[in-house]
Amino acid sequence: MADRRPPVPVPPARRGRAGIWVAAIAAMYLVALWYLDRDRNILYRLAEMAAPLSACAALVLLSYGCRYQRWRSVLAAQGHPLHSWWRGLVAYLAGFAFTASPGKAGELLRIRYFNWQGVPAQATLTSFIFERAMDLLVITLLSISAATLVPAFGLLALVILVLLLALLALGCWPPLARLARALAARLPGAPVRRVARFLIDGGTALRPLFRARLLLGSLSWGAAAWLLTAAAFAWLCHTSGITAHWPLLLGIYPLAILIGALSFVPGGVGTTEAAIVLMLVACGVGADAALAIAVGIRLASLWLAVLVGMLSMTTLESGALAAPPAT
């Protein structure tokens, strides 16, 4: 059985910097919300949505289970099955603590917690890259039903396709991997070169994961997860009196997430909300109502994820789920 490293607490300074990062983004979000609330009564509208928002949160939490099942299957395919379902789940959820980061790179915090369970850093990185690729594909497919609301959707889809093909080529075509490593060696600064090599190694390790059964299973779990979140958004719109067709509503939230991701704004904060508002307004929804829905669904998704991640990270760092002794 793989050796499990005992938990070593994160240095207080590092935890403090990470906490400041999340607190700063949350504070800016709250200030923006307060500013908008002055004339639009957003907080009052959100209070009226308390019941449907609770249902949305429940659906989002269920989606985490689907994502974790995909994560477990990807780790197992790399020869690193998780021996404790619950400890693995908490380690996975801990990554959400810093999901409000460019490209969700903060979720690589999982490297630390899965390393405690005997999973090498490279396997966690490869799983992360694979997960992001599957999410991009699923989100793009789900967004098609709302494509008419964004004239540049074709361009967005093309960018995603190019990214996925480049990732596929990196994993399956050794000459491209060698070229990428040669370019990484020319980057300025030793830390930058190390990070670049680490990421390239993660991409080249994807090749064993390109198997039909694993791909279909991963796409199924990913589709289930994102459909649950999209359904939460559609339900929130329905309970707010919006009469647009459900296929259209199911496509709006994934498309907004896609736009937010391509903006490279941490967590898509602001850009995702703006995309939701613009698309709902295009459907005939009032701007104030659209803004309340956009903020509400983000509270029940992005900020719920951050909260769950923080609680999970605290649980792990406190040793409440200490690793069992190696056997």
Q: Which pLDDT band holds residue 320 (cuts at 50, 70, 90)? A: low
The predicted model gives 216-244 an average pLDDT of 95
Helix and strand numbers (H, E) in the chain are 14, 0
> Measuring CA to CA, which residue among 241, 234, 259 is closest to residue 157?
259
Q: Which residue has the tokens 């289970």?
A: 65
Class of residue 33 by CB neighbours under 10 A (exposed 0-12, middle 13-18, buried 19+): middle
Q: What percent of the chain has pLDDT over 90?
A: 47
**Residue 325, pLDDT score:** 44
> Measuring CA to CA, which residue among 28, 64, 126, 14 is closest to residue 304?
64
Q: Can you give the length of the chain in residues?
A: 327
- Residues 166, 154: Cα–Cα separation, whole Å: 18
Structure tokens at 29: 């979000």
pTM: 0.84
Phi–psi pair at 320, nearest 5 degrees: -65, -25
Instruction: Decide: 296 and 49 in contact? Cβ < 8 Å.
Output: yes
The predicted model gives 34-51 an average pLDDT of 74
Q: Which pLDDT band holds residue 184 (cuts at 50, 70, 90)? A: confident
Three state DSSP letters for 165-200: HHHHHHHHCHHHHHHHHHHHHCCCCHHHHHHHHHHH
The dihedral formed by the CA atoms of 139, 142, 146 and 151, expressed in degrees to the nearest 10: 50
**Residue 238, pLDDT score:** 93
Please determine, for residue 8, whether its predicted confidence score (pLDDT) is greater than 60: no
Q: Give CA 191 to chain center in angstroms.
A: 26
Q: Which pLDDT band holds residue 97 (cuts at 50, 70, 90)? A: confident
The predicted model gives 298-311 an average pLDDT of 91
Class of residue 140 by CB neighbours under 10 A (exposed 0-12, middle 13-18, buried 19+): buried
Phi–psi pair at 132, nearest 5 degrees: -60, -40
Q: Which pLDDT band holds residue 327 (cuts at 50, 70, 90)? A: very low
**Residue 29, pLDDT score:** 64
Per-residue pLDDT reduced to its tens digit, 281-296: 999 999 889 999 999 9
Structure tokens at 259: 């736009």
**Residue 312, pLDDT score:** 92
